[in-house]
Amino acid sequence: MNFIENGTVTSPVGFKGAGICGSVKPSNTTKKDIALISSDVLCNAAAVFTKNLVKSSAIIVTQRNLQNGKAQAVVVNSGNANTCNADGEEKAERMCSLAAQYLGIDKNDVIAASTGVIGQPLPIEPFEKSIPVLAENMSENGGTDVAEAIMTTDTVKKEAAVQVEIDGKTVTIGAVAKGSGMIHINMGTMLSFVTTDAAVSAEMLKAALVEAVEKSYNMVSVDGDTSTNDTLAIMANGLAGNNEIVCRDSNYKIFTQALTELCKTMAKKLAADGEGATKLLVCSVNGAKTDIDAKGAAKSVICSSLVKAAMFGSDANWGRVLCAIGYSGCDIDVSKVDVSFISKAGKVDVCKNGAGIEFDEDIAKTVLSENEITIDILLNDGKGSAEAYGCDLTYDYVKINGDYRT
């Protein structure tokens, strides 16, 4: 498996994309805010969604459209979540109909997604104006425009692609994602779309997606808020020419491993670009009784506001890490816990067998001053392991969210 340099969601064979400023966002901006992704042929498709009871109307429409496990395009906007609106489903259906009309496909084969402010009516005029233009400008090089068009408070675009060999054929998987705040993922991510030219049945595609998301997107937390719009969708068009993956055989394992590594890469991009963040935090837990215990402990640490604040201040306050492990609800013997902080500046051990040990505060501050920190936890109680991804908590997070709507 290898990552493609400058890979995008349109890197797989047969996929095209485009993104433009359609003025869904305030009229005084020129930022892209409407995008299309399409396949040359009908795809097997699958998706996972937020578990928040309050859901975007785009999710409701997309769930209906994916009941047959088929899709051929994605229409997506930023700037408006289309959530808690009386006419939301009607607007989402209209998005799909417009995309289908100008792409020449069935409206039921379109995935719709929206992100932005909750509770404001979604204007349909920008779609009526922009979708014909997008359809005319679909390109294999349009992936980056898609990545830019789905950004809200994101400061950088998030895209990547990997290649693996299956049945002697080169298979490509591409991904695009957005997300910076309101991220405490309980299914997928704020928004993420994955494309592949692999031949995979809809059933196996869903199975692979669920496996991948549990080790990647579902291990991300920026602020503890689960979005109303979380959508992670994948389309597989089969144009790579491999034999279709229809069971959990060795080819399924190769594909799922590649998909998982791609999703982990995207998850880290999301965490690193958390609203106001200055540091990516990776919590690595090993030696747990089970993988479930490891996941629970890692997620608890990465979600701790006190840990996140300490990391912002480059303060080796390891007691906050132990505290978060202690309230995780997992089966852990705290008297066996070891903790270290690691970055490219080095490693500092701060806790052994659940108790503090002497360490150099200056060295610790140097280690924690880097922009990527690993909180390394060894539970010494089994073979379970997991990683979780988050970011530091800064003054700017409050500034950004204090007037997000206005």
The structure's pTM equals 0.86
Question: Could you say which DSSP state residue 244 is in?
Answer: P
Catalytic-labelled residue, pool 50, 153, 189, 228: 189
Query: Cα-Cα-Cα-Cα dihedral of 213, 215, 216, 217, to 10°?
Result: 50
The CB density around residue 312, as the number of other CB atoms within 10 Å, is 21
Residue 76 identity: V
Q: What is the pLDDT along the chain (406 residues), one digit of tens a residue?
A: 999 999 999 999 999 999 999 999 776 778 999 999 999 999 999 999 887 788 899 999 999 999 999 999 999 999 899 999 999 999 999 999 999 999 999 999 999 999 888 889 999 999 999 999 999 999 999 999 999 999 887 888 999 999 999 999 999 999 999 876 544 444 334 689 999 999 999 999 999 999 999 888 888 876 555 556 678 999 999 999 999 999 999 999 999 999 999 999 998 888 888 777 899 999 999 999 999 999 999 999 998 999 999 999 999 999 999 999 999 999 999 999 999 999 999 999 999 999 999 999 999 999 999 999 999 999 999 999 999 999 888 877 777 666 655 5
The CB density around residue 398, as the number of other CB atoms within 10 Å, is 11
Spatial distance between the Cα atoms of 234 and 254, rounded to a whole number of angstroms: 17
Q: Is 172 a catalytic residue?
A: no
326 within 8 A of 339, measured Cβ to Cβ: no
DSSP 89-108: HHHHHHHHHHHHHHHTS-GG
Spatial distance between the Cα atoms of 249 and 139, rounded to a whole number of angstroms: 34
Tokens of 209: 């997606």
Spatial distance between the Cα atoms of 256 and 209, rounded to a whole number of angstroms: 8
Residue 47 identity: A
Closest to 275 in 3D by CA, of 117, 395, 405, 406 = 395
| Cα-based distances in Å from 63 to 92, 100, 109, 124, 325 | 12, 17, 11, 21, 36
Tokens of 64: 């209906």
Spatial distance between the Cα atoms of 279 and 281, rounded to a whole number of angstroms: 6
Helix pair angle (57-65, 88-103), 10° resolution: 50
Spatial distance between the Cα atoms of 55 and 68, rounded to a whole number of angstroms: 21
Domains, the chain, ordered by start: 2-270 (3.60.70.12), 280-402 (3.10.20.340)
